[in-house]
Amino acid sequence: MSEVTQLIHHYLRHNKKFPHMLCAGCGHGILLGSLIRSVHNAGLSKDEVVVISGIGCSGRLAVYVDFNTIHTTHGRALTFATGIKMANPELVVIVLMGDGDALSIGGNHLIHAARRNIGVNAIILNNEIYGMTGGQCSSTTPQDCFSMTTPFGQLEKSFDIVDMALASGANFVARTTAFHAQLTDEVIGQALANPGFNLIEFFSPCHTQYGRKNKYKNAIAMYQDLKSKTMDVDKYKALEESKREGVMPIGVFLKRDDPALETRYAGVRAKLQEAKQKKAEAAKAAQAKPAKAKEPKPDKGAKGKETKQDKGDKA
């Protein structure tokens, strides 16, 4: 067994949950492999990572990996994640969603998670279709493309996930595809190291439900398409407007390190804690005034220390 395969096996629940249910040619496994490599390279232990998924083909990925995992309901993975991150900010929270999860039934949660800048790494596995229920159109099925519920072509426009994340206030926004495994490793790695809400759109070909209805001869043709139509985002930006038609930019669109919601919240808690402590000391001093007892100095230590204090309080 090669080193990479061994590494992946270390993180899989391969004795219990396999064989997996992904179809031949599906890109989801490529993402999962990439996620495992990125977590490993970031030096995180299995126990400090939480993987949360919704419903659909992507929903199964959380079941396959040996982290803390929750397989939630359709569309609500991000809200579960918000609760987890706020309750225990030390966990590294990764959310795996399909396009149906993230943009249709749970679309509202996506824009609000981005707006809040909650410290969650959201990966949207966009296969442009509802794969598990049998190939109905989703909110990312491109206009005029075919699905089980749009036999004469999708009339509605589709969402551009990257534009939406940029407009909603995410800290980190990237797009990659199943054809670009190295780029995927790279952007997940960057996201894991970045504070706040990090969003990665991952194009995952679904030949079973989408490709064969849309003139892709086989899954390989879909990968070739991803290869030929994608372009590095910086090159894309340099391109004349007229030449951009049909080209899909990939790479990192935005990276900033605005403090995450949970960090700002910890700041508020620290302030309150400090005020509480001061008040207690003042009361104590007033009580012990005649004796002029020694007063313990308020701890104005580093943020990390305050967080630990918070934890102690909770326990």
Residue type, 22: L
Site residues for other proteins, 38-67, by CB under 8 A, read 55
Which one, 19 or 151, has the nearer CB to other proteins?
151
Residue type, 61: L
Contact flag: residue 20 with other proteins (CB under 8 A): no
Q: Collect all residues with Cβ–Cβ distance below 8 Å to 57 and sequence separation of at least 6.
A: 21, 22, 26, 28, 98, 125, 127, 131, 132, 206
Which one, 52 or 183, has the nearer CB to other proteins?
52
Contact flag: residue 122 with other proteins (CB under 8 A): no
Q: How far apart are CA 91 and CA 220, in angstroms?
A: 38
Contact flag: residue 168 with other proteins (CB under 8 A): no
Residue type, 177: T
Which one, 30 or 137, has the nearer CB to other proteins?
137
CB of 247 to other proteins, least distance (A): 28
| DSSP-derived secondary structure letter, 298 | P
Q: How far apart are CA 284 and CA 134, in angstroms?
A: 68
Contact flag: residue 74 with other proteins (CB under 8 A): yes
Q: Which two tokens stand for residue 204?
A: 């995952």
Strands (E), the chain: 49-53, 68-71, 92-98, 121-126, 172-177, 198-203, 230-232, 248-255
| DSSP-derived secondary structure letter, 208 | T
Which one, 64 or 130, has the nearer CB to other proteins?
130
Q: Which of 8, 22, 110, 137 binds other proteins (CB under 8 A)?
A: 137
Contact between residue 30 and residue 83 where contact means Cβ atoms under 8 Å apart: no
Q: Which of 92, 105, 219, 250 binds other proteins (CB under 8 A)?
A: 105
CB of 104 to other proteins, least distance (A): 4
Stretch of 134-142, 220-228, 253-261, 292-300 lying at the interface with other proteins (CB under 8 A): 134-142
Q: How far apart are CA 7 and CA 11, in angstroms?
A: 7
Contact flag: residue 83 with other proteins (CB under 8 A): no
Q: How far apart are CA 67 and CA 147, in angstroms?
A: 35
Contact flag: residue 73 with other proteins (CB under 8 A): yes
Contact flag: residue 107 with other proteins (CB under 8 A): yes
Of residues 91, 1, 97, the one with CA closest to residue 46: 91
CB of 215 to other proteins, least distance (A): 18
Contact flag: residue 246 with other proteins (CB under 8 A): no
Contact flag: residue 254 with other proteins (CB under 8 A): no
Give the interface size with other proteins as a residue count (CB under 8 A): 22
Q: Which of 111, 148, 166, 254 binds other proteins (CB under 8 A)?
A: 148
Residue with tokens 């994640």: 81
Q: How far apart are CA 116 and CA 141, in angstroms?
A: 27
Q: Which of 19, 152, 268, 315 binds other proteins (CB under 8 A)?
A: 152
Q: How many of the other CB atoms lie within 10 Å of CB of 115?
A: 14
Of residues 292, 297, 263, 311, the one with CA closest to residue 86: 263
Site residues for other proteins, 219-238, by CB under 8 A, read none
Q: Which of 134, 267, 298, 301 binds other proteins (CB under 8 A)?
A: 134
Q: How far apart are CA 124 and CA 13, in angstroms?
A: 22
Stretch of 15-23, 116-124, 133-141, 280-288 lying at the interface with other proteins (CB under 8 A): 133-141
Point out which residues bind other proteins (CB under 8 A): 55, 71, 73-75, 103-105, 107, 130, 132-134, 136-137, 139, 148-152, 156
